[in-house]
Each structure stands twice: as C-alpha cells, then as structure tokens.
Amino acid sequence: MSAVAHRRPAWSVPELGAESVPWPRGWPEVLTREWAWGGSTGKGVRGCVLDSGVEAGHRRIGPVEQAYVVAEDGAVREDDAVDAIGHGTACAGIVRALAPECELVSVRVLGGGLRGTGPVLLAGLRFAIEQGFEVVNLSLSTAKLELARLLHDLADSAYFRRTVIVAAAHNLPVEGFPWKFASVISVGSHAGADPLEFFYNVEPPVEFFARGILVDVPWKDGGEMRVSGNSFATPHVAGLAALVLGKHQRLTPFQLKTVLYLTASNVR
C-alpha cells in the first residue's frame, strides 16, 4: 500500500493544541437569570425590527436610530420612521419595554394588510444580516416552498455571523419559514401576564413560548392596541436576547439559546 501524506483536516484544532482555541470562560456552575441579564438594559445591542415599519417618537417607542424600506425590486433605501399598519410598532414597543437602551432599526418589508412579497422579504433579511445586527425580530413568515431554500441559506448565514434571528411561528398549523429552521429561535405564545415568563418547548419545531395573548402594545398614529398572536410573543424573546447580549457580548446564537433554555420558567 502506498503511503498517504498526513494532512490536517480543515476546521480542526490547530497544531498548537486546545489552548490556542478561545473556549468560553466565566460561565457559572448554575446559570441564573441574575447572571444572564441582571442589570442589563440592552445597551450596546443593535436590534432590527423587520416588519411594517416602526413609528418613531411614539411615547412607548422613543427613538428609532435608522429606518429603511425595501422596494419591490429588492433595493433598500433610507425611509422615514413610519409604520404602514402598526404591527411593527407593536413589536418594537415590546422589545423596547424589555430592553430600553437597545438600539432599534426598522426595515420595512410589509405594506397594507400585512402583505409583502418573497423578494422583498429576502432582500430585507439579507440587508439586516449584512448590517451585522445582533438581534433581528421577524414576526412574520412565508409558506412558499420556493423561498424556503433561500431563507434557509440566509438563516444559516446569520447564525454563523452571530446575528440572532427570532422568528414567529405561524398562528395556524401550517408549514412556515424561517421559523421552522433550527438556526433561528422560534417562538409561540402563552397567555400569562408576566413579560419575563417564557417556557422552553421540548417538542419542536417551536422552541420557546412567550407572552402573546391579550398584550397591550403601541400602535400607529400614537395609538395603542390589545393584540394576540405569535407575532407579539416573538419580541418578548427578542427583548430578552438583547438583555443577555447587552451583558454578555459576542455570545454565539448557540450560546444564547443555551442561556435562554437554562433560564426558562419551566427549567429554572
């Protein structure tokens, strides 16, 4: 048998050994909510609400650092911080209530009637990933199979670039994307009143349940609304993610999921 040259595989520990790999340090033996986000306000975390827009200046929103809109041809341009419907403002208000000092950026991909197109959604999500937001709240989904592969590639790209996509499960028992992808954090609802109460689900594909039934939220034109749905559970988890990342910068999405799992109300 001819000799085979020894060659170190790609993606392996360097020859210097494990000490050259920056393993995570400082995690406690028992991970608590105090360790996870105690004292955090989300400061330093850049969050993106990919939705119908966010109404800047709403008393329950405060400043929106930047706003963009995605055109039908996929072009992204700067936009006034307005909301076509109120849905995005509601989601942003929930995030801001939990993480009051996180940076909020709006990327508008939905128009009237909460309708949007596949190319616009893809372009908006791609833009959010390229901008390097730490947390993207995606309280929408699509059932179009022809978009699934492209969305899957984008979700994986976000995962490896340390952009956490928090995505709402569909309100109906239908196939939907990207919430069914393991590379995102998928969220369904519970009817509790505590915004910090959330549950880990041992029966995927939905991973977490957060408050999403009869939630009082800000709405367009300075208004307010009482709403229900997975759309409004999702920003509760996005806000918690911002709190954790505000205290523990540069966690990977896998590490962040681990923190959320270990601090869930039914796990602690």
Residue 28 falls inside a structural domain = no
Model confidence over 154-172: pLDDT tens digits?
999 999 999 999 999 999 9
At 163, which CATH number?
A: 3.40.50.200
Mean per-residue pLDDT of the chain = 93
Tell whether 205 is covered by a domain. Answer: yes
pLDDT digits (tens, 9 = 90+) for 2-51: 555 667 788 787 777 666 677 677 889 899 999 999 999 999 999 999 99
- What local confidence, expressed as pLDDT, does residue 14 receive? 75
**Contact in structure between 231 and 213 (CB atoms under 8 Å):** no
Location of structure tokens 């307005």? 82
Tell me: the pLDDT tens digits for 58-86? 999 999 999 999 999 999 999 999 998 99
The number of folded domains in the chain is: 1
User: Which residue has 């910090």 as its token pair?
Assistant: 196
Rounded percentage of the chain residues whose pLDDT exceeds 90: 83
Q: Would 234 be classed as within a structural domain? A: yes
CB 166 within 8 A of CB 136: yes
- pLDDT tens column, 168-202: 999 999 989 999 999 999 999 999 999 999 999 99
244 occurs within a structural domain: yes
Domain assignment of residue 146, given as a range: 39-263
What is the H or E stretch that residue 96 is in? helix 87-98
In a domain, 54, yes or no: yes
**12 belongs to a structural domain:** no
In a domain, 257, yes or no: yes
Tally of CB atoms within 10 A around 148:
17
Half-sphere exposure of 66 (CA within 13 A, CB side): 14
> Is 26 contained in some domain?
no
